[in-house]
């Protein structure tokens, strides 16, 4: 049996996106795109892993995204029966990736192969998960800098025709940024990664989404994403948007810690819209949003967002039912 960890990362969510999977120092891969979401990164990591391990009789995949695991193992049959729509009639997000994953899983099963999934808590010291996380974050950071991440040796230990064999040192090209995976607990330091192939143009070539975007527009977009089913269905996506010291005073009067919220986060029962009332730039990297949540009930809300390392995250939130 082959055990691999797969992970995704998005700096800003949406923003520069990376993915990575890791088996050992000789078998790992990374990639991404200039603009995407955390869930796109998570799904892409599993998709590439399935593609590269075609023919493996038994594959065990470790993920810290319950969204990915449940989508593949529980939700897909229902989505397919409904024409790739969710129970509420809305189209399934990232449907092209979902359909590719569905096809690969069906082909693997038809060939007698077995793929199992296991949820692991992210950032909890699990060696394989930590390595995949570093690959994904490194790939996203590379795209943020306008570079191409190192694609890695892949499952076969080569990156393409002419690539050196495993254990042969290679110098990455000038435009490549190594993703630097963390070695497994019982593994020695990895050999230098092979040079990454030149990336083909993608949909977002020529679109500089890291500049000329007002802070208010970026933060409002991130705030709205916290109301979406796609993000709320995946605690890892929510965690990526919350500051490590985040807290909330809810409309009910309850004080929430970050860990408490992540343990209970789920899609909202009914859609809620964000009506922006005001925004206040308290500093170059600090922005306060004042807004109204509009649904079955309305509430006045304030959210404090801070930017560190070029990444906006919510630091504090408070809600008050509107009279």
Q: What is the CATH classification number for the domain harbouring 34?
A: 3.30.420.10
| pLDDT given for residue 4 in this prediction | 98
| Active-site annotation holds for 150 | no
Q: Tokens 């069906």 label which residue?
A: 106
Q: Domain check: are 9 and 94 in the same one? A: yes
Annotated catalytic residue: which of 102, 130, 133, 234?
133
**Distance between CA atoms of residues 214 and 287, nearest Å:** 11
| pLDDT given for residue 214 in this prediction | 63
Q: What is the CATH classification number for the domain harbouring 292?
A: 3.10.450.50
| Active-site annotation holds for 24 | no
Return the C-alpha torsion angle 138, 24, 74, 48, nearest 10.
60
Under 8 Å between Cβ of 139 and 32: yes
Q: Tens digit of pLDDT per residue, the chain (323 long)?
A: 999 999 999 988 788 999 999 999 999 999 999 888 889 999 999 999 999 999 999 999 999 998 899 999 999 999 999 999 988 888 998 999 999 999 999 999 999 999 999 999 988 889 999 999 999 999 999 988 888 888 999 997 533 332 222 222 222 333 344 444 433 433 333 333 333 333 333 333 332 333 234 678 888 888 999 999 888 998 888 888 999 999 999 888 899 999 999 999 999 988 888 888 888 989 889 999 999 998 878 899 999 999 987 788 999 999 998 87
Q: Domain check: are 120 and 20 in the same one? A: yes
DSSP H or E stretch at residue 96: helix 95-110
Q: Domain check: are 124 and 253 in the same one? A: no
| pLDDT given for residue 230 in this prediction | 84
| Active-site annotation holds for 8 | yes
**Distance between CA atoms of residues 291 and 220, nearest Å:** 10
Number of domains in the chain: 2
Q: Would 263 be classed as within a structural domain?
A: yes
| pLDDT given for residue 215 in this prediction | 79
| pLDDT given for residue 160 in this prediction | 33
Q: Would 202 be classed as within a structural domain?
A: no
Under 8 Å between Cβ of 4 and 58: no
DSSP 26: T
Q: Would 154 be classed as within a structural domain?
A: yes
Q: Domain check: are 234 and 169 in the same one? A: no
Q: Domain check: are 171 and 54 in the same one? A: yes
CB atoms within 10 A of CB 173: 13
Q: Domain check: are 43 and 141 in the same one? A: yes
Give the pairing type, strands 286-294 and 15-24.
unpaired
Q: Domain check: are 13 and 124 in the same one? A: yes
| pLDDT given for residue 146 in this prediction | 87
Give the pairing type, strands 255-257 and 242-249.
antiparallel
Interacting residues of 119 by C-beta distance below 8 A, sequence separation 6+: 63, 64, 66, 69
C-alpha distances in Å from residue 312, one per residue of 29, 47, 215, 234, 295: 27, 28, 9, 19, 26
Closest CA to 293 of 259, 310, 270, 311: 270
Q: Would 15 be classed as within a structural domain?
A: yes
| pLDDT given for residue 162 in this prediction | 29
| Active-site annotation holds for 64 | yes
Sign, Cα dihedral of 84, 87, 89, 92: negative
Closest CA to 318 of 297, 304, 307: 304
Q: Would 12 be classed as within a structural domain?
A: yes
**Distance between CA atoms of residues 62 and 204, nearest Å:** 30
Q: Would 210 be classed as within a structural domain?
A: no
Return the structure tokens found at 70. Answer: 């449940």
Annotated catalytic residue: which of 123, 202, 280, 297?
123
Annotated catalytic residue: which of 25, 42, 102, 248?
42
**Distance between CA atoms of residues 31 and 147, nearest Å:** 11
Interacting residues of 90 by C-beta distance below 8 A, sequence separation 6+: 229
Q: Would 192 be classed as within a structural domain?
A: no
| Active-site annotation holds for 20 | no
The parent domain of residue 37 ranges over 2-177
Query: What value, to the nearest 5°, has the Cα angle with vertex 19 and ends 212 and 285?
Result: 35
Q: Would 204 be classed as within a structural domain?
A: no
| pLDDT given for residue 129 in this prediction | 95
Closest CA to 174 of 139, 146, 152: 146
């Amino acid at each position: 049996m082959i055990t691999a960890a797969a992970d995704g990362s998005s700096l800003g969510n949406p923003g520069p996106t990376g993915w990575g999977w890791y088996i050992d120092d000789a078998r790992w891969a990374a990639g991404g795109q200039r603009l995407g979401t955390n869930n796109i990164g998570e799904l892409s990591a599993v998709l590439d892993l399935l593609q590269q391990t075609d023919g493996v009789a038994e594959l065990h995949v470790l993920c810290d995204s319950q969204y990915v695991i449940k989508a593949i193992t529980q939700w897909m049959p229902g989505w397919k029966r409904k024409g790739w729509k969710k129970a509420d009639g809305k189209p399934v997000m990232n449907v092209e990736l979902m359909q590719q994953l569905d096809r690969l899983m069906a082909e693997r099963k038809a060939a007698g192969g077995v793929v199992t999934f296991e949820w692991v808590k992210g950032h909890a010291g699990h060696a394989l998960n930590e390595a995949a996380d570093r690959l994904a974050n490194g790939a996203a950071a590379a795209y943020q800098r306008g570079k191409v991440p190192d694609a890695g040796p892949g499952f076969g230990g080569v990156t393409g025709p002419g690539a050196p064999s495993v254990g042969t040192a290679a110098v990455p090209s000038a435009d490549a940024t190594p993703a630097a995976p963390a070695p497994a607990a019982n593994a020695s330091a990895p050999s230098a990664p092979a040079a990454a192939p030149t990336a083909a143009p993608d949909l977002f070539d020529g679109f500089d989404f890291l500049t000329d975007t007002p802070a208010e527009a970026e933060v409002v977009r991130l705030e709205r994403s916290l109301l979406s089913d796609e993000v709320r269905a995946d605690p890892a996506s929510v965690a990526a948007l919350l500051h490590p010291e985040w807290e909330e005073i809810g409309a009910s009067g309850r004080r929430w810690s970050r860990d408490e919220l992540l343990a209970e986060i789920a899609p909202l029962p009914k859609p809620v819209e964000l009506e922006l009332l005001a925004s206040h730039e308290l500093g170059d990297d600090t922005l306060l949003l004042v807004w109204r949540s509009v649904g079955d009930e309305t509430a006045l809300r304030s959210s404090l967002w801070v930017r560190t390392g070029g990444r906006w995250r919510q630091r504090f939130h408070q809600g008050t039912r509107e009279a």
